[in-house]
Chain A
């Protein structure tokens, strides 16, 4: 998915409060954001995405940069929200949970899986996360789905650019070697 210069003007209009431009930004970035978040936290992807867009709406009027900078900033916020969500999950381990909660959680997870099965792109992302290490899957998803450069991915993940380049090279080799048989299942 190519997101380039046309979105620069859309971003400027959204900064001034143009509602149509804001909707165009949402339609352009929400799918890739959901695919990335579902690869990281499947059950909480929708909630984290809502938090990311809420933060974006508050910071959009003061944002200074082009479309690529906004995209990198958006996924950086998403990454931090994922980390915060995982920390909250660790704290919630000590909370007593009613038995009914497990049943509801299972049902919700099944529903989410059924919904994502309908999307070929999300199914491909899930296969990537299934066959790759977490770092490799995240690097490839950010490089291909979010269309971020190696340098931007390294900045987002707080890793050197060279680490990103080596990781993506090894991830592509592994993915090609392991997923040959599974690609036939992707609609």
Chain B
């Protein structure tokens, strides 16, 4: 029995009886046959249904191009999918990753090389062309005795030292940073100390020659001291600490020579060369012409250049130093 809710509304012309299942199945099969075009019309109703399911007229299929374009727009590259299988897709992705990695590595290599080249050029330029302000820095007026400065710094220091000695003695800039005295090693001697107005400035070109009669046999020590910087270095600042220690002197002996003509200790240790240590060519004691050779320095000819000091051969005649430029009066010649 058919469910009442499944029964369509009744029209008086449809009759009052509810169709049987056999009739419903027969109608269902008939309609399927009409839809497939396999029924010959036996009544007007079936003929009408057959006409409704008739063949397609050309006027009904206009506008196909619009739908085709819409489908193509909905999947613009879908026809390419079969050509790209999973394996080929993976291979392409791998190739893309490798290509990008190689590009990144090459860019990094170029960047590192460029940075290195720029750094090299800057360093070379700075080495060849020192900045002008470096010549005026107070640091270049100091030097560490016994240490081999770089070539450029040595030249700079020599130039600055020449400039300093050609003018009046400058004040102590190394102590002017914060008003307190900077710690200074025992081997460092400021050239801003009151220097006697003598030495390389007065001798002019003779500054390029080794001062103090360096031993040509002594290669390292003499070469170091015979360099441009050493030649331009005032003799007053070339007192090595090693000789002081060997001679038993104290660091106080390196203090600037006092204008007072009574250096008791140096004079007392003067060698028997006939020329007292600390006496200039004019005979006054304001200028040390040469450093007093020590027994250790005399016996050892291959000392380290970093700690060795200019020495003089005890057997060789002791040359006198340049004139101190002062008026060596009789009062200043106690010796």
Contacts and interface: CB of A to CB of B under 8 A. Distances in A.
Contact of B44 (A2, A60, A136, A176): A176
Interface string A9-30: 0000011111100110011001
A162 interface: yes
B71 interface: yes
B292 to A, nearest CB: 105
Interface in B76-134: 76-79, 81-82
Interface string A139-176: 01101110101100000000010110111111011111
A78 interface: no
Interface string B24-46: 10011011101111000001111
B70 A121 contact: no
B13 A177 contact: yes
A50 B282 CA distance: 124
A147 B35 contact: yes
B64 interface: yes
Contacts, number: 192
A46 B193 CA distance: 110
Contact of A61 (B28, B65, B78): B78
Interface residues of A, number: 65
A23 B117 CA distance: 66
B334 to A, nearest CB: 117
Nearest to A175: B45
Q: State the majority secondary structure of interface residues on A.
A: helix
B135 to A, nearest CB: 80
Interface string B1-39: 011011110010111001100011001101110111100
Contacts of A174: 11, 13-14
Given A145-B53, A170-B14, A17 B71 contact: yes
Contacts of A18: 79
A97 interface: no
Interface stretch (B55-63, B205-213, B221-229, B247-255): B55-63
A34 to B, nearest CB: 5
Interface string B152-175: 000000000000000000000000
B49 A140 contact: yes
B173 to A, nearest CB: 85
B51 A123 contact: yes
A179 B61 contact: no
B68 interface: yes
Contacts of A89: none
B74 A162 contact: no
Interface of A: 1-2, 14-19, 22-23, 26-27, 30-31, 34-35, 50, 53-54, 56-58, 60-61, 115, 118-121, 123-125, 127-128, 133, 135-136, 140-141, 143-145, 147, 149-150, 160, 162-163, 165-170, 172-177, 179-180, 182-183, 186
Given A58-B74, A165-B24, A175-B49, 15 more contacts: A1-B54, A30-B60, A57-B70, A143-B35, A145-B52, A147-B35, A150-B28, A162-B3, A170-B14, A170-B19, A172-B31, A172-B45, A172-B46, A174-B11, A180-B43
> Which 8 A-B pairs give the minimum distances between C-beta atoms?
A176-B45, A57-B70, A17-B78, A124-B51, A162-B6, A17-B75, A31-B60, A175-B45
